[in-house]
Structure 1
Amino acid sequence: MPDDKTRIALIGFGAMARSLQASFYKSGNDFAVGAVLVPAEFAPAPNELGGLRLFHDVSELIDWRPSLVVECASHDAVRDFVPALLRNGIDTIIVSVGSLGDKMLLDNLELAANEGRSRLTAVSGAIGGLDVLRSARSAGLRSVAYTGTKSPKAWTGTPAADAVDLASLSQPTVIFKGNAEQAARLYPKNANVTAAVALAGIGFEATGVVLIADPHVTTNRHRVQAEGAFGSFSIELQNAPLPDNPKTSWLAALSIEEAIIRHFRFIDV
């Protein structure tokens, strides 16, 4: 694939995609988004695109030959578009990491990447410590647990809204307890970080997950605890939410930018 840092394409044009585009524009570096892929029914108005090429069909994007594609849309977008990109030799970064909880899709993506000799990268999102998990995994992990705490507003439009009255919560309330596979499936826009933890550690079914709605917090809080032959560790991050989307931590958007920069580096550190 060409190594053109200005021939980057996005799948989706929501708050995270716009944040990335604006960040590259302000930084004045060599990176720039050149095109977006959005189904016609969700297409932004021409005046919102700022000169970006707009594609509605993945085959059109493939013909444009991007040097890198970044998915920041949905689990459906990963399933519908990413295999074709990989199969055609186009390196792709995915944000909707929770989609990889579907083993059939994960196998399909790996096969497509092998066929196209391309690379699929799953961003770390709003969580840290994944390098420790990956290192500890080789010696054996006994348990990995993730706890995510966000304001009630961040859980609107999710199954939590059907289970509790989010607007009237006066104390921290557990809205989900299960494993990473269930969390990624039920809370795809809120809990992608659980999938990143599962992939780095002991898998989707064995990774314990607790999600909490807390009316007193103003940040998105993520805690990972792990035990194994290496010993144990606990890491907690408190992240400011993305200004235009409280469901997403600002650090998650920043992790995409870092993943793009690392993709084009000759030395990855």
Structure 2
Amino acid sequence: MKIGLIGEGAIGQYVRETLSGLGLAPVVTLVRAARLNEGAAAQKVASVNDLPSDLDLVIDCAGHSALVEHGPAVLQRGFDLVTVSVGALADPDLLDTLERAAQSSGARLVLASGAIGALDCLQSARVGGLDEVTYVGRKPPMGWKGSPAEGKLDLAALTTATEHFSGTARQAALEYPKNANVAAAVAMAGTGFDQTKVRLLADPAVTANIHEIHARGAFGSFSFQIQGNPLPDNPRSSALAAMSVVASVLRERAAISV
């Protein structure tokens, strides 16, 4: 399997190192033009047009803007694309553009599960009908710095868990783009962006990011919670999100896939 990589951040570095250890080292990395001559001598390009034509798969680890900029062109070239930037798909125009690009070339856009689990259960439950899906995101107050929560709460003074957003997954993804991927992944797996409910809380009693899914439907009901650790190299990047990218690649090449 010949793999191309987009991005050299914390998640991109983890994916490269882990895949290399499995004998699947990416052969080329798509980077900004200003970074073409930085770092090791591994092949780098600044345009989708310069990617080798014999790639089997491209992995996007560079965030929403990279999916917007490069995603359609990657799919139009016929390359399957794995991404964790699920939150970007809250933009219906982008989703439509990516879908049309994939359909025209026969390529696939694969959404890595990211920092959340239980999406397989949601997808199965959707077949029989889901009545309600709620995602709850809970972080330490300072984990919401740089988000709209700063304008709603005095994060440094909180003594109890406080909700700063309640709405749909689409609203959450658009208003909190740096924190959108988990809510968007839940929405894509379940009832969609406009039917999935989202609550976001700043909680001084927790020290890690906590993600919860609560679902009810014809199957019954379930609640799922995960407490995620960050990558050592970047406290803002989820370790499980990086791991989910590698898992997606391994599923793509597995003879038996779970």
Where does residue 131 of structure 1 map in the other structure? 120
State the one-letter code of the partner of 1:19.
Y
Where does residue 90 of structure 1 map in the other structure? 79
1:15 has 2:5 as partner = no
Question: Contact conserved, 2:17 with 2:25, CA < 8 A, in 1?
Answer: no
Where does residue 25 of structure 2 map in the other structure? 32
* Selected match of 1:244 from 188, 213, 233: 233
- Counterparts in 2 of 1:1-269, with a 5 A limit? 4=1, 7-25=2-20, 28-41=21-34, 43=35, 46-47=38-39, 50-61=40-51, 63-269=52-258
Query: For the structure 1 residues 219 and 56, does the alpha-carbon distance in structure 2 shift closer, same or farther, using more than 3 Å as the test?
Result: same
State the one-letter code of the partner of 1:70.
I
Deviation of residue 110 (structure 1)? 1.4
Question: Contact conserved, 2:229 with 2:240, CA < 8 A, in 1?
Answer: yes
Aligned residues between the structures = 258
Distance, in Å, in 2 between the alignment partners of 1:204 and 1:67 is: 30
Question: Contact conserved, 1:33 with 1:52, CA < 8 A, in 2?
Answer: no
Deviation of residue 138 (structure 1)? 1.6
- RMSD of Structure 2 on Structure 1 (CA): 1.8
Deviation of residue 103 (structure 1)? 1.7
Deviation of residue 99 (structure 1)? 1.1
Q: What are the superposed Cα offsets for residues 203-255 of structure 1, whole Å, 9 maximum, x if unpaired?
A: 00110001112233222211100111111111111111222333332111111
Deviation of residue 151 (structure 1)? 2.0
Distance, in Å, in 2 between the alignment partners of 1:64 and 1:135 is: 36
Distance, in Å, in 2 between the alignment partners of 1:245 and 1:169 is: 25
Q: TM-score, normalised by structure 1?
A: 0.89
Question: Contact conserved, 1:96 with 1:188, CA < 8 A, in 2?
Answer: no
Q: Which moved more, 1:171-180 or 1:86-95?
A: 171-180
Q: TM-score, normalised by structure 2?
A: 0.93
Q: Secondary structure at the match of 1:199?
A: helix
Deviation of residue 71 (structure 1)? 0.9
Paired-residue identity, %: 47
Deviation of residue 33 (structure 1)? 2.0
Distance, in Å, in 2 between the alignment partners of 1:166 and 1:214 is: 9
